[in-house]
C-alpha cells in the first residue's frame, strides 16, 4: 500500500537528485538548457513541498521562502535567455537593416543583464542558505518524518489533494478578461498562469492514478500555461525594448512593433478560444467527475507497485516543461 508520504518522498528525492546533478553544468553557464532544467526541477520541488506538506514533517530550513528565492534567481536568468532567443532567432531576420542596427544596443544590454544574472545564480548555488537547504533535504530523505496523514493510503486521498487548488483556479477573475488594457489586468493574467502551472504540477504528482479524462486536462493546462507564457514573454520584450528606445518602440522600430503586436494579438485570440472551450460549467464538472472516478478506481486497485514503477521509470526519464 502506497501512502501519501511515500509519494512525497519519491518525488522530492527525484527532484533533489536533478538539482544536485545540474549544479556543475549550471555553474559553468555553457548550455542554457541546463539552467532551464534546473529551474523546472526547483519549481517542481517547491510545488511538491507546498502541495504535500500536510503529509510531511520537514526541517525548518525547507521553507517556501528559501525555495522561492532560489527559483527567482534561476527564473531571471532563464527569462533573459528566452528573450534573447526570441529576438535573435525569430524576430531579427524579419527586420530591415536599419532596425537591426538600432537593436544592437538592446541586444548588448540584454547580454550584460544575462551575465549579471548568471553571477547571481552562481552566488545563489554556492551560498550557505541554498547548500543548507539541499543538505537538510538529503538528511531528511534518509529517515523521512511523516504526519498521520502522510501514513494514510494515497488511494483514499487523491481527490482531497486536487480539488482545493482546482476550485481556486477556476474562480480566478482573470478567466473573464475580454481584453488587456492596463498593467493590473496583465498582472492578473500572469497570476492565472501561475495558478494553472501549480494545478498542472499537482495533477502530475499523482499522474499514475489518473484516468484518460484527467490526463487530457494535463494537456489542456500545459497548452494554457505555454500560451500565457508566450503572451507574457512578448509583453516583457516589448517593454524592455521600449524602455531603451529614446522615441519608444513604436516610433523607433515600426516593423518590430508590428511583429510583436501581431504576435500578441494572435496569442490573445488563441487564449480566448481556449477559455471558451475549457472554462464552461460542463467542462469543469467533467474534470471533477473524472477525478472522483480516479479515486474510486485507485481505491479498488491499490496501484502501489504501478506507481513506484512509474516514478522510477517514466517520471525519471521525462523531459519536463517549464
Q: Sign of torsion, CA 256 257 262 264?
A: positive
Q: Is the pLDDT of residue 315 over 80?
A: no
Q: Is the pLDDT of residue 173 over 70?
A: yes
Domain residue spans of the chain: 1-153, 154-301
CATH 3.40.50.2300 fits 1-153, yes or no: no
Residue 233: per-residue pLDDT:
92
- pLDDT tens profile 23-63: 999 999 889 999 999 999 999 999 999 999 999 999 988 98
Mean pLDDT of 82-88: 89
How is residue 67 written as a grid cell? 525555495
527569462: which residue's cell?
A: 79
Residue 38: per-residue pLDDT:
95
% of the chain beyond a pLDDT of 90: 68
- pLDDT tens profile 136-154: 999 999 999 999 999 999 8
- pLDDT tens profile 195-249: 999 999 999 998 888 899 999 999 999 999 999 999 999 998 998 899 888 888 9
Alpha-helical (H) ranges within 29-59 are 32-52
pLDDT class of 319 with cuts at 50, 70, 90: very low
- Coarse DSSP helix, strand, coil percentages of the chain, rounded to the nearest 5 percent: 85, 0, 15
% of the chain beyond a pLDDT of 70: 93
How is residue 60 written as a grid cell? 525548518
Residue 284: per-residue pLDDT:
92
User: What predicted TM-score, i.e. pTM, was given to this entire model?
Assistant: 0.88
Mean pLDDT of 156-173: 92
Q: Is the pLDDT of residue 155 over 90?
A: no
Q: Is the pLDDT of residue 303 over 70?
A: no
Residue 222: per-residue pLDDT:
94
pLDDT class of 314 with cuts at 50, 70, 90: very low
Output the CA torsion 76→240→110→224 (10° steps): 50
How is residue 86 written as a grid cell? 526570441
Residue 308: per-residue pLDDT:
56
Residue 26: per-residue pLDDT:
95
In this structure, the chain runs to a length of 322
Q: Please state the φ and ψ torsions of residue 56, each to the nearest 5 degrees.
A: -125, 150
Amino acid at each position: 500500500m502506497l501512502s501519501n508520504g511515500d509519494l512525497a518522498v519519491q518525488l522530492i528525492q527525484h527532484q533533489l537528485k536533478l538539482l544536485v546533478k545540474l549544479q556543475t553544468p549550471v555553474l559553468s553557464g555553457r548550455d542554457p538548457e541546463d539552467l532551464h532544467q534546473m529551474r523546472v526541477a526547483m519549481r517542481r520541488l517547491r510545488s511538491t513541498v507546498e502541495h504535500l506538506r500536510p503529509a510531511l514533517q520537514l526541517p525548518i530550513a525547507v521553507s517556501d521562502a528559501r525555495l522561492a528565492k532560489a527559483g527567482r534567481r534561476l527564473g531571471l536568468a532563464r527569462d533573459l535567455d528566452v528573450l534573447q532567443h526570441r529576438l535573435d532567432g525569430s524576430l531579427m531576420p524579419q527586420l530591415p537593416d536599419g532596425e537591426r542596427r538600432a537593436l544592437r544596443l538592446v541586444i548588448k544590454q540584454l547580454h550584460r543583464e544575462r551575465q549579471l544574472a548568471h553571477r547571481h545564480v552562481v552566488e545563489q548555488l554556492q551560498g550557505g542558505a541554498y547548500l543548507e537547504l539541499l543538505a537538510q533535504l538529503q538528511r531528511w530523505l534518509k529517515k523521512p518524518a511523516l504526519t498521520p496523514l502522510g501514513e494514510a493510503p494515497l488511494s483514499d486521498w487523491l481527490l482531497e489533494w486536487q480539488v482545493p487548488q482546482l476550485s481556486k483556479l477556476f474562480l480566478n477573475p482573470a478567466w473573464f478578461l475580454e481584453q488587456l488594457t492596463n498593467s493590473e489586468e496583465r498582472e492578473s493574467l500572469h497570476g492565472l498562469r501561475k495558478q494553472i502551472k501549480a494545478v498542472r504540477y499537482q495533477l502530475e504528482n499523482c499522474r499514475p492514478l489518473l484516468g484518460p479524462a484527467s490526463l487530457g486536462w494535463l494537456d489542456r493546462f500545459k497548452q494554457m500555461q505555454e500560451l500565457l507564457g508566450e503572451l507574457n514573454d512578448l509583453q516583457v520584450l516589448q517593454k524592455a525594448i521600449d524602455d531603451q528606445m529614446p522615441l519608444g518602440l513604436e516610433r523607433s522600430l515600426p516593423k518590430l512593433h508590428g511583429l510583436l503586436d501581431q504576435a500578441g494579438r494572435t496569442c490573445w485570440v488563441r487564449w480566448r478560444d481556449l477559455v471558451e472551450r475549457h472554462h464552461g460549467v460542463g467542462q469543469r464538472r467533467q474534470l471533477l467527475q473524472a477525478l472522483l472516478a480516479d479515486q474510486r478506481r485507485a481505491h479498488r486497485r491499490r496501484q502501489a507497485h504501478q506507481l513506484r514503477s512509474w516514478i522510477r521509470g517514466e517520471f525519471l526519464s521525462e523531459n519536463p516543461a517549464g
